[in-house]
A and B are shown apart, each in its own frame.
Chain A
Amino acid sequence: MLHNAKDKYITSVKDYVSQFEENSFRKLASNDFNSWPSPREETWRLSRLGVLSRKEITPIIPNSKKKVSSVSKFTGSTIIRFVDGALREDLSSKLPPGSSLDILGEEDSLTCFHKFKDSNLKDHPSTNVSFSCTPSIVKLTIEKNISIGGFFEIIYEGGDENLSVHPALYIELKDNSSITIIERFNHLSSLIMPLQLVELKQNASMNSLKIFNDNQQSYNLSANCTFLSDKSNYNSFSLIKGGLFTRSETHAYLKGENCSLNLNGVYLSSKNQHHDLTTAIYHDVPNCTSKQIVRGVLGGKSTGVFQGKVRVAPDAQKTDGQQMSRAILLSENAIANAKPELEIYADDVICAHGATVGEIDDEQLFYLKSRGILEKKAKQILITAFLNDIINESVEESVQNFVFEEAELALSEIISKEI
């Protein structure tokens, strides 16, 4: 029988798992991967994966000798490296006390798999494919009452054309612990499907910073599932600038009272890039706060998508859910889509969302020009301010400069063409 290319990736995933036992989590995962999401599916309507079914891609077999090219951007950070989706302990730093890095065995992997499958990420292609093909699920644990000073820098790289990579990371913060993690995605692969499970136990606190800067031809379909217990705090910021197609999808479940969540993000898109920030926040218990700020700058023929859903369960009273998304279009051919969504089943809540799409504000521009600033410069100032605003608010002070620089690089590329 002749296979078309679409069947090929699905077949190659099935081939990959054929070596494992029937009851392995990999087999279970691969059983659920039978097609790419169709554009008829609501959450994939604005970000279509049709192209992937025509590509010839196979899951990568990690090369444990591969040399790395990305260098650390910080001094004194604890580095963890994933190459070709596999953890490279030989290239990673020694971990500070109170933290540990483990490769999960079959049983724990299965538990981890079920946590994903019980969430609304169960049908995400990365969930099914990466659980099938990941070299291993890596777990980072921070012990009780441990507060890690400095930060972890996780660098993902490797992969190659026509290969897919599948890093899977499970982060557990035990009671009263805290950590700051910076993740940098610098893959060369055609297809990148990172999985991340975060569990914050009581009073734990995590700052997460993600920089998506994969190869210009890459598809990155990142799937993140986060669970928050009582009084925990998750503060995340994503900067999407690389790849041909990057979609960062995060589902956060607020399971304990008095927890707070920030899911902020910026996408900077040029040429024919497609960037998508999709989030879902589930307020399942009372007295929690969630806040989301998303900004986008679009040039060239790029497309930006923001889909944010806030669901407040019945009885999740005193919820405060805020969401704000703004996009600036700099080019005639760029497209901005926004779908902020509220689904509310409790009455004593304060929930709001706002979304704007437009060009640079005329009045602001006029204000600057009337003070003798050239139009080009004025626009630059306004766009930079548009981003600095959110970066200042969402990112820890010590890494702000790094984020500014990362953003600046992408921004200058957009601005140089459009202004």
Chain B
Amino acid sequence: MVATQETIDKVNEVSSTYKYGFVTDLESEKAPLGLSEDIVKFISNKKQEPKWLLEWRLKAYKKWLSMEVPNWAMVDFPEINFQDIYYYSAPKTKPKLNSLDEVDPELLKTYDKLGIPIKEQEVLAGVAVDYVFDSVSVVTTFREKLAKEGIIFCPISEAVQTYPDLVKKYLGTVIPIGDNYYAALNSAVFTDGSFVYIPKGVKCPMELSTYFRINEQNSGQFERTLIIAEDNTYVSYLEGCTAPQRDENQLHAAVVELVAMNNAEIKYSTVQNWYPGDKDGKGGIYNFVTKRGNCLGKKSKISWTQVETGSAITWKYPSCVLKGDDSVGEFYSVAVANNAQQADTGTKMIHIGKNTKSTIISKGISAGMAQNTYRGQVQIQKSAKGSRNFTQCDSLLIGDKCGAHTVPYINQFTPQARVEHEATTSKISEDQLFYCLQRGLDTEQATSLIVNGFCKEVMKELPMEFAVEAQKLIGISLEGSVG
């Protein structure tokens, strides 16, 4: 079919030009190559961490040693040599800056290339940005404004020093150190990440945002994010990623923990556009992320929205544990996989409290030779009377060399609940295409329109402040694959 061939050509064309492929020239301070108990101690020492945290890390490291690499996901990649990775690298000058002017101009340039003019964001969007450049947070804006409300938004390494009680109380409570292989690894060697604390009764006045950049060659990124929302609060957190082009695979194993108390709402949005590798998948980033939210309080709500367009391999299951009665979990996902990309992503909704509700909307788009898997679990425990789940996962295939897979698990232990799951897999319907062509659109426009419509349910969940970049990022992938 002509349209399909055109699409495939487009895919090839775009795949060779990764827009955000560049390396910033910054001197960095590295830990020796490889991982050992000493490296864990080195990291902890570098960060001048309290003893309890070092012990916690060492415990995680021991646990990690005893665990096996999970192999159930439908992804295929060469074995990772964990001794061939730098576990710590930080920009050399430790910045303590009052304004953006004091920031290393090299860094600012990097962000400019990414299309994130900090000042413009400051002024126009009113977004507080906590940049993570490699592992050390470089600059935090809007901290004061947030502080007025009593909101804490800072690098987690700083929180460890300033708010040790809070960190100690919640760190690892949602995702225990031994939860899975990569979470254990992260717990042992995490370098930095964000810490957010919303005190009782506060609605966060702005979207909180962190841009992650992977910069140092061969340095795995191990972010750790912890968000705590006390009673009657609201916070929306945005996470976006782009990474420079390079040839060696980079490992990224982040952990994100969310805690929502009574009547609290956390909205966590991600746009991920890491380097997916070249046409054969060489050089892309391995993204093995553990994300989980605990709806501890009554009527609490956690909502995950993700737009996944990058990475060579994505292994990611943002989940909700719905413990509080009447709590709500949501998962909205668009995953685009192109060329040799492999994505195995989905969610888990564990219903424990009464009348808990969850919604899962997953849209997978596969093109080129990519494999895109939705893997999800909905579990209704005995105590979760009156619970409700609705799951919809749709897959779109573009080209005859790619794959789309759906692996849902439904486990229900009580009759007073209802779980519904539906999934479809198809290509763009000839009828829809014909309809558009008939009205004067060319094939590419038509395809683009249809695919955008296909994702709309998820895209509309993204916060306004993020929408522009999200569209830009997904645009790059979609533009390439469909028109």
Contacts and interface: CB of A to CB of B under 8 A. Distances in A.
Given A314-B401, A341-B406, A351 B414 contact: no
B422 A353 contact: yes
A400 B406 CA distance: 34
Interface string A337-352: 1111111111111111
Nearest to B366: A347
A358 B415 CA distance: 6
Contacts of A347: 4, 397-400, 402, 427
Interface in A328-344: 328-332, 334-344
Contacts of B449: none
Contacts of B415: 328-332, 334, 358-359
A344 B408 contact: no
Contacts of A345: 402-403
A337 B424 contact: no
Interface size range of chain B in the complex: 35 or more
A42 B72 contact: yes
A97 interface: no
Nearest to A46: B411
Given A334-B415, A336-B412, A358-B417, A317 B400 contact: yes
A349 B399 CA distance: 12
The residue among B399, B403, B420 with the most chain A CB atoms within 10 A of its own CB is B403
A357 B418 CA distance: 6
A48 to B, nearest CB: 14
A317 B399 CA distance: 11
A344 B72 contact: no
B423 A354 contact: yes
A90 B397 CA distance: 57
Nearest to A324: B422
Nearest to B410: A338
A352 B425 contact: yes
Contacts of A339: 407-410
A408 interface: no
A354 B425 CA distance: 12
B419 interface: yes
A339 B408 CA distance: 6
Contacts of A351: 424-426
B403 A344 contact: yes
B413 interface: yes
Nearest to B405: A343
Contacts of B411: 335-337
Contacts of B416: 359
B460 interface: no
Contacts of B407: 339, 341-342
Contacts of A32: none
A336 B409 CA distance: 11
A229 B217 CA distance: 54
A105 to B, nearest CB: 42
Interface string B68-112: 000010000000000000000000000000000000000000000
Contact of A342 (B400, B402, B413, B425): B425
A352 B423 contact: yes
A279 to B, nearest CB: 15
Contacts of A349: 397, 425-427
A315 interface: yes
Contact of A344 (B4, B422, B425): B425
A327 B418 CA distance: 10
B421 interface: yes
The residue among A314, A329, A347, A356 with the most chain B CB atoms within 10 A of its own CB is A347
Nearest to A352: B424
B395 interface: yes
A344 B395 contact: yes
Contacts of B418: 356-359
A354 B413 contact: no
A140 to B, nearest CB: 36
Contacts of B398: 347
Nearest to A328: B415
A178 to B, nearest CB: 32
Given A338-B421, A352-B422, A358-B419, A344 B404 contact: yes
A315 to B, nearest CB: 7
A349 B426 CA distance: 5
Nearest to A298: B415
Contacts of A328: 415
B169 to A, nearest CB: 35
A148 interface: no
Closest 8 CB pairs of A and B: A329-B415, A347-B397, A358-B418, A342-B406, A338-B410, A359-B415, A355-B421, A352-B424
Interface of B: 4, 72, 380, 382, 395, 397-427
28 contacts: A315-B400, A336-B411, A336-B412, A337-B411, A338-B408, A339-B410, A340-B423, A342-B406, A342-B407, A342-B425, A344-B404, A347-B397, A347-B400, A347-B402, A348-B400, A349-B397, A350-B425, A353-B406, A354-B421, A355-B408, A355-B419, A355-B422, A356-B420, A357-B410, A357-B417, A357-B419, A359-B415, A359-B418
